[in-house]
Chains A and B, each alone.
Chain A
């Protein structure tokens, strides 16, 4: 007498035939399916950062892909590795993604050697986003330090596309020296066309620099903040969060109206590998965008 246990072949289940939609978090999808994408252009911005224009090859997958400012994708170079990169372009651009990547490790180093035409893989989008709807009818203060301007750039695009939803929008941007300023070619457009106020400060000026010199918090002197009707979005190195956010708290801005974006190394983007663990949660699931109150309650977050 023998017993043959029936085989459940999950390769036959419906989720296998659909293109993966990472926005449907609770549905069974092919979690490791990378959307094949082509690099359209690589644009050097500084000696360390390059902007990549990346287009998802398959039309259905491309049309399916949508994100909100602040979210990230897992960018894969098959055979080399996968890295989490925040999306830097406009969410209404459904033709290609803009990713600004600093050459800092093994995979990003390889990515910097890619040329237009190369094929990469994209999974995502993952993570939380900036509260674009909640910020409506309020003043918005965008504060970026160094590479922090990269995720904020998609917020800036959004703000322009929904300009009438928001009151005053101010960008404070701090960089180490003038050669490290990203998207300098767009600053004029943001000011004159988008109608945003933008102040840039550098720590170490060169001979041509005419703007303010110092730390990002020095800019606050010139910026009136209405604590009752302002949202702040802060992106930058962790040390900056503490200084900027405690300054804003002193001005009376509630911690739940300050948003920061955290960075960790990720291996999955889906809360499974535990590598981006902060305190009692994961950067990829409850972050990367957290409000400052939550961050204060997470051990080792900043």
Chain B
């Protein structure tokens, strides 16, 4: 990997330059919560000043720019009994600024399923190919457990990755487009002083992780504790609302529905982001539901994240951002659930 530095002033010019011809997306301040903390969200930026480089956490993850909540898979022209199908994969170039290491690692996990696995998904691929990602380091929050999930450092999956070292950004460059951008806007060679500052910042970040989860035995525990009371304890709280999957940076389950418009000449095949916690996730025709109770569905959400995905791709699906814990209306925190599971083992 190549490294450069760019002054904050030049970075501003770079972003403004990008804005002229491309869609630029970044963390924007949208609201305040009950405690008065700012709520951020990844949205299209109109000016550089909307970009909050000091944002803490975005409530929902930038995954939705790759897997939208709602997406048309195909449209149909209906003509009596006959029909014609149309499929479009057009995505215009865009830039996402300020993605965290965990969110970038989340995308890499999605790449495993959507691009590298069987039946590569062209909808996802078109978005991934046409999106420039500029990552941003940050000091971990109280509840981040990405360190335990091995997702706190991003080594690929981005174009540029910034670390704030005071007056400048220390930039890791992963793509030719990124290299071109940095050079065009006054990127400089890394000096010895920059390197010292970078190390200092990195060490500081490393020392501030407070939340740890013992995850290495979790895949086995998923089977061993399958009938555990822990699932009932947490599952009975679950409202089956699916908020966790909506804000999760890696959840990708979906449902497909088709509808005909009012003139009966057009039909649409639409995909909606779904959640395995929703009541009818595993319902089949003939009034049978494989997962009728909330605690069973909650268990399978964890089972996929910490066991199924591990078996398939040798890594867990969870990146430890705790967005689901923040979003959960019933206060189900992944750390608490996992800790409970591990504790039943040691008692």
- Chain A residues at the B interface, C-beta cutoff of 8 Å: 1-11, 15-16, 22, 25-34, 36, 76, 78-82, 104-106, 108, 117-119, 121, 263-265, 267-268, 270-275, 277, 279-281, 285, 299-300
- B132-A277 in contact (CB<8A): no
Q: Is B83 an interface residue (CB 8 A)?
A: yes
Question: Smallest CB-CB separation from B75: which chain A residue?
Answer: A78
A5, A15, A25 — most chain B CB neighbours (10 Å): A5
Q: Is B32 an interface residue (CB 8 A)?
A: no
- A79-B184 in contact (CB<8A): no
- B311-A270 in contact (CB<8A): no
Quick one: which of A3, A76, A82, A106 contacts B21, CB cutoff 8 A? A3
Which A residues are in CB contact (< 8 Å) with B74? 32-34
> What is the interface of chain A mostly: helix, strand, loop, or mixed?
loop
Which B residues are in CB contact (< 8 Å) with A264? 282, 284, 290
- B85-A78 in contact (CB<8A): yes
- B226-A299 in contact (CB<8A): yes
Inter-chain CA distance A270–B114, complex, in Å, is 10
- Chain B residues at the A interface, C-beta cutoff of 8 Å: 13-14, 17-18, 20-22, 73-74, 76, 78, 81-83, 85, 87-90, 92-95, 113-114, 117-122, 125-126, 129-130, 132, 177, 181, 184-185, 223, 226, 252-260, 267, 269, 271, 274, 276, 281-286, 290-291, 300, 303-304, 307-308, 311-312
Question: Smallest CB-CB separation from B260: which chain A residue?
Answer: A79
Which B residues are in CB contact (< 8 Å) with A118? 81
Quick one: which of B92, B117, B253 contacts A7, CB cutoff 8 A? B92
Which B residues are in CB contact (< 8 Å) with A119? 81-83
In the complex, how many residue pairs between chain A and chain B have their CB atoms under 8 Å apart?
175
B167 to chain A, nearest CB (A): 21
Which B residues are in CB contact (< 8 Å) with A279? 303, 308
A228 to chain B, nearest CB (A): 32
Which B residues are in CB contact (< 8 Å) with A22? 119
The 9 closest A-B pairs by CB, nearest first: A105-B285, A79-B267, A270-B119, A280-B308, A5-B93, A79-B260, A274-B253, A25-B118, A4-B21
Which B residues are in CB contact (< 8 Å) with A7? 92-93, 130
14 contacts between A and B (CB under 8 A): A5-B93, A22-B119, A29-B119, A79-B78, A79-B258, A80-B258, A82-B269, A267-B271, A268-B256, A273-B254, A273-B274, A280-B304, A281-B308, A299-B226
Question: Smallest CB-CB separation from B261: which chain A residue?
Answer: A79
Which A residues are in CB contact (< 8 Å) with B181? 3
- A273-B13 in contact (CB<8A): no
Question: Smallest CB-CB separation from A81: which chain B residue?
Answer: B258
Question: Smallest CB-CB separation from A272: which chain B residue?
Answer: B121
Inter-chain CA distance A268–B252, complex, in Å, is 13
- A273-B269 in contact (CB<8A): no
- B20-A2 in contact (CB<8A): yes
- B257-A81 in contact (CB<8A): yes
Inter-chain CA distance A81–B285, complex, in Å, is 13
B264 to chain A, nearest CB (A): 8
Quick one: which of B85, B113, B291 contacts A121, CB cutoff 8 A? B85
B44 to chain A, nearest CB (A): 15
Which B residues are in CB contact (< 8 Å) with A76? 258, 269
Q: With A5-B177, A280-B312 in contact, do A263 and B119 touch (Cβ < 8 Å)?
A: no
- A285-B118 in contact (CB<8A): yes
Which B residues are in CB contact (< 8 Å) with A78? 76, 78, 83, 85, 258, 267, 269
Question: Smallest CB-CB separation from B18: which chain A residue?
Answer: A3
- A3-B304 in contact (CB<8A): no
- A274-B252 in contact (CB<8A): yes
A71 to chain B, nearest CB (A): 14
Quick one: which of B17, B267, B290 contacts A3, CB cutoff 8 A? B17
- A34-B85 in contact (CB<8A): yes
- A6-B93 in contact (CB<8A): yes
- A79-B13 in contact (CB<8A): no
- A1-B17 in contact (CB<8A): yes
Inter-chain CA distance A132–B96, complex, in Å, is 50
- A3-B184 in contact (CB<8A): yes
Which B residues are in CB contact (< 8 Å) with A10? 89, 122, 125-126, 129
Question: Smallest CB-CB separation from A83: which chain B residue?
Answer: B285
Q: With A1-B184, A6-B93, A7-B93 in contact, do A265 and B254 touch (Cβ < 8 Å)?
A: no
17 new A-B contacts at CB < 8 Å, known A11-B89, A28-B120, A78-B83:
A6-B93, A26-B118, A28-B122, A31-B119, A31-B120, A78-B85, A79-B76, A79-B267, A117-B81, A265-B282, A265-B284, A271-B117, A272-B114, A273-B254, A275-B281, A277-B282, A281-B312
B196 to chain A, nearest CB (A): 31
Question: Smallest CB-CB separation from B275: which chain A residue?
Answer: A274
A67 to chain B, nearest CB (A): 16
- A82-B256 in contact (CB<8A): yes
Inter-chain CA distance A117–B18, complex, in Å, is 54
Which A residues are in CB contact (< 8 Å) with B259? 79
Inter-chain CA distance A250–B156, complex, in Å, is 53
Inter-chain CA distance A36–B122, complex, in Å, is 20
- B303-A32 in contact (CB<8A): no
Q: With A1-B13, A81-B257, A119-B83 in contact, do A11 and B90 touch (Cβ < 8 Å)?
A: yes
